[in-house]
Amino acid sequence: MERPKVVLITGATTGIGRETALHLARLGYDVLATGRKAAALDELRREADGLRLDTFVLDVNDAASIAAAGVEVDRRTEGRGLDALVNNAGFGLMGPMELVTEEDLRAQFETNVFGLVRVTQRFAPAMRRRGEGCVVNVSSVVGLLTVPLQGVYCATKHAVEALTDAMRMELGPFGVRVVLVEPGSIRTQFATTIKATVDRYRAMESPYGPAFDRYQRQLDQVDRTSPGPEVVARTIAKVLRKRRPRARYLSPGRYRVAIWALRLLPTRWFDRTLKGAMGLTRKALADPAGRRR
């Protein structure tokens, strides 16, 4: 009987990570779902009753937590290591670069970039020594272009794109597949986290109030019209099945044409398109009396 493939997923308590953990377990993978909140992990384990899914706490910002997770994986796999690693842990904040705090800036990079590298450095060597394995890094469509009011989050995902490209070329000769999955607008709790920072920055005295209001409406529309995280979970499952996956997978795939078209625009046209969409025009930012702030 073939041994089930062992997959570790970070950030598995909500959204894409949670749905991916359940989906892969239903497909017969031996899933190790991790996250920071023990109570949420317990709830996930109860939902997965009867499936090959177990959970343990892993904080990607804590070196000791990563080391403990490594010991646990080695114990469970008898030193063989993971068949696949899904780096999904991350979160989003928004705010204009003029106002974003250094604390927010550092927190975004700590989790979205440094955490991903720490976890990969712990688990990729076993794959390299074995000559097989797969690392899936969950990026975003904003790793391919920059959206105003999301500059810091976009910067972290641009970093993930570059780091993954390097990993793919470095680990590829040893038989380790490294793949980017780039979700677009997905209905998850991610939007709720973003809304909290929208409210915080809206409370400040700044000229960006009208843009915040428009952004809030866009987030509400995401909740109403966007697909759920199961779309991305299916994409990740497809990647894991392929012996020679592509370097990048947009999810949903319908974004491919739009991203391609936007990236072909001259910079001035691209800026105009994005500024208009985000309410960052002189007219939109004017106060009710029509004066400039």
Instruction: Give the tens place of pLDDT for each residue, 185-230.
Output: 887 777 677 777 777 877 777 888 888 888 888 877 777 777 889 9
Take residue 273 and report the two structure tokens written for it. 């398109």
* Average pLDDT across the chain, whole number: 91
Q: Rounded distance, CA 31 to CA 266, Å? A: 45
pTM of the entire predicted model: 0.92
Annotated active-site residue 255? The verdict is no
Q: Rounded distance, CA 73 to CA 283, Å? A: 56
33 DSSP β-pair partners: 9, 55
56 DSSP β-pair partners: 34
Q: Which H or E element spans position 9?
A: strand 6-9
Instruction: Give the tens place of pLDDT for each residue, 2-42.
Output: 789 999 999 999 999 999 999 999 999 999 999 999 999 99
Q: Which H or E element spans position 137?
A: strand 133-138
- The answer to whether 33 and 88 are in contact (CB under 8 A) is no
Instruction: Give the tens place of pLDDT for each residue, 41-78.
Output: 999 999 999 999 999 999 999 999 999 999 999 999 99
Query: Does residue 291 have a pLDDT over 80?
Result: no
Catalytic residue among 153, 208, 215, 249: 153
Domains of the chain in start order, with CATH, are: 6-188+227-262 (3.40.50.720)
